Structure 1
Amino acid sequence: MVTRLIILLALIAVLVGGCVWQEQRVSAAQQDRDAALQAKRQAEAERDSAKGSTTVVTQYVDRVQIVRQAGATITREIPIYVTQKADAACTIPAGFVRLHDAAATGNPA
């Protein structure tokens, strides 16, 4: 009777030990999976960020070039359309000039 009890207790101990070992294996596998998923998400975010910033920089450079070209054309054509007489007839109030200059420099008026 005592022998059977000892064998039964040993069998229960082996089963409990096996369950604990299996739980540790599953927990370690889940942690590894979570770490791999986090690394994947981070890599995708970096890739998307790099892709987006490259596109924006390219578009911005193209726009700056177009604006400079258009500005050069407008500057060259102003004397053609605005005569000296019309330019002299255009008076701008001093208050507007001060307000405009303050706004251009970012200072409050």
Structure 2
Amino acid sequence: MKRLVEKQVLFWKDSPRRKPLIIRGARQVGKTWLVENVLSGQFDNFIKIDFEKRRDLQVHFSGNLEPQTILSYLELAVGRITPGKTLLFFDEIQACPRAIMALRYFYEQMPEL
């Protein structure tokens, strides 16, 4: 099972026009581990935003859901985000419902991210 899931996320990474990846499952089954240990090494940079630990960042999703605007604010808090080179990981995204809504706009306007 582990190898199958790892293979699937690597296939996602190599897809030419990939959609935001949402990994769902029960608690404590390895979703975060998969991203941190399998996917993160496939990119030049890895930025993790845990919405349960960084509630202060949720405010950037409360107004305009324009991806470039959101990224500008996030970069001030977490560092440079380079589309195509940075894996931006929203952990515990259910704590910020508007971030889930924003994924659609990220896909439509910044598919390279």
For normalisation by structure 1, the TM-score amounts to: 0.19
- Which structure's relative contact order is higher, taking Cα pairs within 8 Å and 6+ residues apart? 2
Bigger radius of gyration, 1 or 2? 1
For normalisation by structure 2, the TM-score amounts to: 0.19
Instruction: Flag the structure with higher helix content.
Output: 1
Instruction: Flag the structure with higher strand content.
Output: 2
